[in-house]
Structure 1
Amino acid sequence: MHLYSSVYDELYQRVPHHPQLTRKQDPAKNLERLSKELKFIKLFLTKGATVAEVGPGDCLFSFEMCKKAKKVYGVDVSKEITKNKTTPENFQLVISDGISIPVPEGSINLIYSNQLMEHLHVEDAKEQLQNIVKALAPNGQYVCVTPNRINGPHDISKFFDKKATGFHLKEYTFTELKKLFLSVGFSSVSGYWGLKSLYFKVPNGIIYLAETIISIFPFKIRRLKIFKPFLTIRIVGKK
């Protein structure tokens, strides 16, 4: 068993009240969480597409995509969250070592992840991206949502440090991720901002300028909620 699998299996077994396990007990919060991200992913999700969500957690978002997609793979390191769940007929959970994307090569039209990249070691992140490119069909897209290092850290270390030192092994800026995406074979990379569930494409140069300006501010100022829409990373790589 790979380290990622063993760590998260043990986490969910030892912490039965972990948010990933208890979310299903609060339908209202689930609906709010899902509706916001569904509005974003609908910009890329086409009817009849083959989709994969990497790090799907409780898989509720994957289940929602099943309503429009032909096939949805949930690629995760643990079965603990989804065991004993009734799943849609066009959904398949596949277990990864945290780096591999165990689906047929060149078969996926859209790959999505939310709050995943920051949990990977930097070398593993690059290898996983390479595997994502392999899994994508021609012109396929990888939609990645991850917190920005500039207004971080975003894990438990936010209470005592200025750098992620908990379960977030590496937090990035959009500019850093753009460079990484291009280095593994994506033909183009674009970024999006979201304001009150409205999402729009933003020129990369504008995002770079925003990151540069905000990073100049003191630590406490950078973390103000007013900057969150401009810093939350929504990056899309096209094969």
Structure 2
Amino acid sequence: MARPSSILSALPIRAALPVSTKGFAGSQGMSQSRMSASHATARERGAMHDRAHSPMRVAPRGDETPTAYPLREHYLIERELADRLRSAPRSERGALYSELYDELFRRVPYHPMLHVGDLPQREHDITRPLRLLRSFLTCESVFMEIGAGDCALAMRAASLAKQVYAIDVSEEITRSVVPPGNFKLILSDGCSIPVPEGGIDVAFSNQLMEHLHPEDAGEQLRNIYRSLAPGGAYVCITPNRMYGPHDISKHFDQIATGFHLREYTAREIRKLFVDAGFAEVRFYASARGRFLRCPYWVIAALESTLGALPYPLRKRLAYTKPMRAVLGLWVAAIKKEAL
């Protein structure tokens, strides 16, 4: 899903179309429009403004030729498929997760998850969470990534752990994976965690929780909990709703309507983890590659304050770097040690 780092998660980025995942209106193209507009008539300037702000954006990166990225087409397709998943009964959703994501990638072949965009950014997307994971991993650890996507992080983790399991719902992204010897790729229905019970020391997901149907999130968490050994940790990264939405609908809506089926606050995430059985839920602030434990009450107080503000002001304030460093929802949930 971000990676989507997956299909299950959102770590965006795979092979090579010149499409950036960082912003669909490039500064170079916009500056050229503004230069031309200075010599245009009022009608021409209006037409330029419409093009610059149209859902058909341009996504240049570096010295690449700008490439048209049909935002609205992507949005309408993803929303249509996401609505099918939202309205589906539990008995049908297991098969639908894989089916609808595969359909999305067939109907949106220019999707950023299918193509390498900014390679330095992609490397950052891998090495940044690995910095946090290193504090939980040892050479004897069994590691599991749920929503592994292109499996880049999971394969990198294979050099740090004894055994690695990578779980995802779609074969479309994972077809080209060539794994190391201690790596195993497993396809899932989106909720099940088909690994030995109590056999995982460290579980990880990046941009996964928000892709699950709200009714399935608790079930998957309970399955992850069962898969963990006593004292094991589940490291979860998910976007905070306070400065969302974070899927394709961010260009059109005030709440997520694409494949982010639900975005959460820290308060909601904490309750889900406690209800699943975790003994401790830790929150981390992330800045400049470092991770510091952040008291839950600090994040909850910020969310309460921001939640009382009108949407435009709330998003503007919450999206500042200091706020995102605290609100970004880097979570480690710990299973109780055996008695």
TM-score class, shorter: over 0.9
Q: Taking every aligned residue pair, what percent have the same amino acid on both sides?
A: 46
- Shift in Å at residue 200 of structure 1? 0.9
Gaps of 5+ in 2: 1-93
SS in 2 for 1:235: strand
TM-score (norm 2): 0.67
Give the Cα separation in 2 of the matches to 1:90 and 1:20: 25
Residue in 2 that maps onto 1:100: 192
Structure ranking higher in strand proportion: 1
1:218 aligned onto 2:310? yes
SS in 1 for 2:115: helix
1:173-212 alignment to 2 at 5 Å? 173-212=265-304
1:71-220 alignment to 2 at 5 Å? 71-220=163-312
SS in 1 for 2:195: coil
Residue in 2 that maps onto 1:12: 105
Q: More deviation in 42-51 or 132-141?
A: 42-51
State whether residues 274 and 281 of structure 2, in contact with CA within 8 Å, keep that contact through their aligned partners in structure 1: yes
1:234 aligned onto 2:327? no
Q: More deviation in 25-34 or 109-118?
A: 25-34
State whether residues 110 and 142 of structure 1, in contact with CA within 8 Å, keep that contact through their aligned partners in structure 2: yes
State whether residues 143 and 234 of structure 1, in contact with CA within 8 Å, keep that contact through their aligned partners in structure 2: yes
Give the Cα separation in 2 of the matches to 1:156 and 1:220: 18
State whether residues 210 and 230 of structure 1, in contact with CA within 8 Å, keep that contact through their aligned partners in structure 2: no
Distance 1:187 1:87, change over 3 A: same
Distance 1:148 1:26, change over 3 A: closer
Give the Cα separation in 1 of the matches to 2:113 and 2:137: 24
1:28-47 alignment to 2 at 5 Å? 28-47=120-139
Work out which of the residue numbers 44, 50, 69 in structure 1 matches 2:142. Answer: 50
Q: Which AA in structure 2 matches 1:15?
A: V
- Shift in Å at residue 26 of structure 1? 5.1
Q: Which AA in structure 2 matches 1:228?
A: R
Give the Cα separation in 1 of the matches to 2:254 and 2:279: 34
Give the Cα separation in 2 of the matches to 1:62 and 1:209: 35
Gaps of 5+ in 1: none
Give the Cα separation in 2 of the matches to 1:101 and 1:55: 11
TM-score (norm 1): 0.94
- Shift in Å at residue 47 of structure 1? 2.1
Q: Which AA in structure 2 matches 1:164?
A: A
Q: Which AA in structure 2 matches 1:4?
A: Y
Q: Which AA in structure 1 matches 2:146?
A: V
Q: Work out which of the two has the higher radius of gyration on C-alpha atoms and give 1 or 2.
A: 2
- Shift in Å at residue 234 of structure 1? 1.0
State whether residues 294 and 326 of structure 2, in contact with CA within 8 Å, keep that contact through their aligned partners in structure 1: no
Q: Which AA in structure 2 matches 1:2?
A: A
- Shift in Å at residue 193 of structure 1? 0.8
State whether residues 52 and 110 of structure 1, in contact with CA within 8 Å, keep that contact through their aligned partners in structure 2: yes
Aligned residues: 238
State whether residues 98 and 189 of structure 2, in contact with CA within 8 Å, keep that contact through their aligned partners in structure 1: yes
Distance 1:17 1:183, change over 3 A: same
SS in 2 for 1:89: coil
- Shift in Å at residue 99 of structure 1? 0.3
Give the Cα separation in 2 of the matches to 1:154 and 1:47: 35
Q: Which AA in structure 2 matches 1:140?
A: G
- Shift in Å at residue 156 of structure 1? 1.9
RMSD in angstroms over aligned alpha carbons?
1.5
Give the Cα separation in 1 of the matches to 2:125 and 2:233: 22
SS in 1 for 2:185: strand
Q: More deviation in 38-47 or 130-139?
A: 38-47
